[in-house]
Amino acid sequence: MVQFAQGTTPEQNAEVFESLKAKADALNARFRHHSATAVMEGALNDAGHIALVSSFGAESVVLLHMAAVIDPMVPVIFIDTELLFTETLIYQQEVSERLGLRNVQIIRAADIAEKDPYGALRFSDTDACCALRKTAPLQRALSEFDGWITGRKRFQAGTRAALEFFEVEMEANGPTGRLKINPLAHWAPEDVRAYMDENRLPRHPLVAKGYPSIGCAPCTSPVQPGEDPRAGRWRDQSKEECGIHVVNGQFVRTGA
């Protein structure tokens, strides 16, 4: 993996970015007219050591099913924030068993007891809570990988209108040294529903209860008809992101 290290010069940083960008461009050119399954298979075979990061949320089962068909041993990273809905934890177990996924890695932050012993951090600083329970443990888990697969799609936000299959992962101080792979970048909402129907995939039980976007239980509420699918995430707050998806140091919406 081309690794970005703390303290590197802007020139070195640019060199890392250009190397990864060339790799992403080549893969995008190769798979431009291919299916999502082909993109995922190409990523797993030709992009290095790749993990699938899954929240086991409302639409996660699509990518999980694709991965299981290609290779049941694909590393699947699931972050247990210890604030998730019980339904999500049960769904994660049931989907993993049903699809035959044999390399699901359940990650938890090791310092919650020290930094948030009473679980009250979310009341005073939701960004810090997300960073502690989700973003930091994910970055640690991804440190051994060359890239990771996400479920992001172009329709989810204007900032994603030109989302490519392969892109360089950026953080506030430069490239991380990893690629982000978005096999479903070109999919529309009806494509997601059709895939789930055709393959008879199990739905997250909370979707039927008005939760089209599912995160931690204390920070997720039902969505009313006509509302944005993510209206129930951090309701009545300006916060829209947990911090996992960052572009040039700026948070962007992840969509449903």
Tell me the C-alpha distance between 18 and 52, whole Å.
24
Q: What are phi and psi of 181, to 5 degrees?
A: -115, 130
Span 25-75, pLDDT tens digits = 999 999 999 999 999 999 999 889 999 999 999 999 999 999 999 999 999
3 state DSSP class of 99: helix
pLDDT band, very low/low/confident/very high, at 153 (cuts 50, 70, 90): confident
3-state helix, strand, coil in the chain (%, to 5): 40, 15, 45
Q: Rg of the chain over CA atoms, in angstroms?
A: 18
Across the chain, mean pLDDT equals 85
Q: What are phi and psi of 178, to 5 degrees?
A: -120, 160
Tell me the C-alpha distance between 213 and 222, whole Å.
9
Span 177-190, pLDDT tens digits = 899 999 999 898 89
For residue 50, give the amino acid letter: I
**Domains of the chain and CATH, by start:** 10-251 (3.40.50.620)
pLDDT band, very low/low/confident/very high, at 162 (cuts 50, 70, 90): low
Tell me the C-alpha distance between 179 and 170, whole Å.
9
Is 216 catalytic? The answer is: no
Please measure the distance between the N-terminal and C-terminal CA atoms of the chain and give it in whole angstroms.
31
Span 208-253, pLDDT tens digits = 999 988 999 999 999 988 887 777 777 666 555 555 555 444 443 3
Contact 164, 29 (CB under 8 A): no
Identify the H or E element spanning 149: strand 147-149
- How many helices and strands in the chain, by DSSP H and E? 9, 8
pLDDT value, residue 116: 96
Q: Which of 129, 130, 219, 242 is catalytic?
A: 242
Residue 95: C-alpha distances to residues 56, 123, 228 (Å)? 8, 32, 27
Residue 56: burial class (beta carbons within 10 Å; 0-12, 13-18, 19+): buried
